[in-house]
Amino acid sequence: MTSLALAVAEGVPWRKAFARAGSRVTWRVVVATFAIAVAMQAWSLYDSAFAASQMFVTRTYVSSMIVNVLIAFSIMFTTFVADEFVTIGAPALPAYAFGVLVGSASGSLAQRLVHEALLRASPAFPGVQTTPNAYAVFVFFEYLIWGTIAVWIYVSRQHEMRARARMDASRLQRAETQRRSLEAQLSALQAQIEPRFLLDMLACARDRYEADATSGSTMLGALIAYLRTALPRLRETGSTLARELELARAYLDVMREHLGGSLAFEPDVPDGLCKARMAAMLMLPLIHAIVVRRPAGSRPPRLILASARIADDKLRVRVVHDGYTAAPAVENDDIAGIRLRLQALYQGNASLVLPHGTTAILEIPFEPADGDRR
């Protein structure tokens, strides 16, 4: 006993299989099946015209159409039923072979019944085959062959589509795994950056308080303001340009006393760019690198300009200060960390250029907050 027959004997839900197969017969399926029947009809007429005679074609063209339509729909439905049995675990080869066999037999029987009804209505019905019994046997064997070929093509196509779907699902899973790994790396980098900045600012506040209580108190107040700005978004990986500039301003307020007591920060950002997306903790390490960790012997800055513009579909942020330095830009830990995060976030589609010790130019893909490209 075959596995398919064993499944039937054990009570496989035929009604559910038929119901599910019937639910798949949509108008799109009907149109496609009828198109196949028309194509088969055209081939039958062409083949008969050359293999037999024009008179034979004239006598059987209605019969040929009846056969093609009924066989096409019969095999279509039994193939869908075979699909359902394969889905619940039946072996594919016996299931589809049995489907073709039943489809060909039921289609052959149906066309015989239709022929008999037409001949009873009119023994000389135009285009109808007058020997339905012999014709039924011929139809069964011929379309058993054609049905096998058609179902083999269908099953091969289905197998290919399922294989492609599995590959796509595998790619999506790998992409999701890579995304989670990237988020973990970025979170680790961010977790390294934030405590260092806090510790540096606390150390500066402590040193300033020991040297000058009034100045230290002012610096401590600025540090509290910075913490109120930074802590609510401490673990966010995404931010906006406006938020990052706000955080940079709060940070520079803390560092003002450390840098000499006179420091102005002037952002120049059009209103339309304030909500542009930006990874968290990109601006702060950049400003820290060129302002606070400037080369030895350079003059402390009094003015820091931060401008943002769109260039070649990228957000270009330029940070410049007026402190003098004759030394070239230094690739310190802050700059290395920024480059590492840019590579991880944008895969080479972002850049950081330090043309001079007082200037830094950051370019990242432009992403508006509303998702609309400009």
* Single pTM value for the model: 0.49
Nearest residue to 204 via CA among 226, 234, 180, 177: 226
Name the pLDDT band for 127 (thresholds 50, 70, 90). Answer: low
Mean pLDDT of 182-200: 61
11's tokens: 């009570």
Indicate whether 9 pLDDT > 50: no
The pLDDT of residue 318 is 92
Which one is predicted more confidently, 52 or 364? 364
Mean pLDDT of 314-337: 76
Indicate whether 239 pLDDT > 90: no
> Given the DSSP bridges, would you call strands 359-365 and 314-321 parallel, antiparallel or unpaired?
antiparallel
Indicate whether 54 pLDDT > 50: no
The pLDDT of residue 163 is 87
Indicate whether 2 pLDDT > 50: no
**Mean per-residue pLDDT over the chain, rounded:** 76
The pLDDT of residue 27 is 87
CA count, 13 A, side-chain hemisphere, 163? 6
Element (H, E) at 316: strand 314-321
The pLDDT of residue 59 is 57
The pLDDT of residue 56 is 47
The pLDDT of residue 373 is 42
The model's pLDDT over 70-86, given as tens digits with 9 standing for 90+, comes to: 888 888 898 888 888 88
Element (H, E) at 216: helix 213-230
Handedness of CA 132, 134, 139, 140 (dihedral sign): positive
Least confident of 145-154, 159-168, 176-185, 281-290: 176-185
Which one is predicted more confidently, 47 or 21? 21
173's tokens: 């899973």
Name the pLDDT band for 120 (thresholds 50, 70, 90). Answer: confident
Residue 268 bridge partners (DSSP): 307
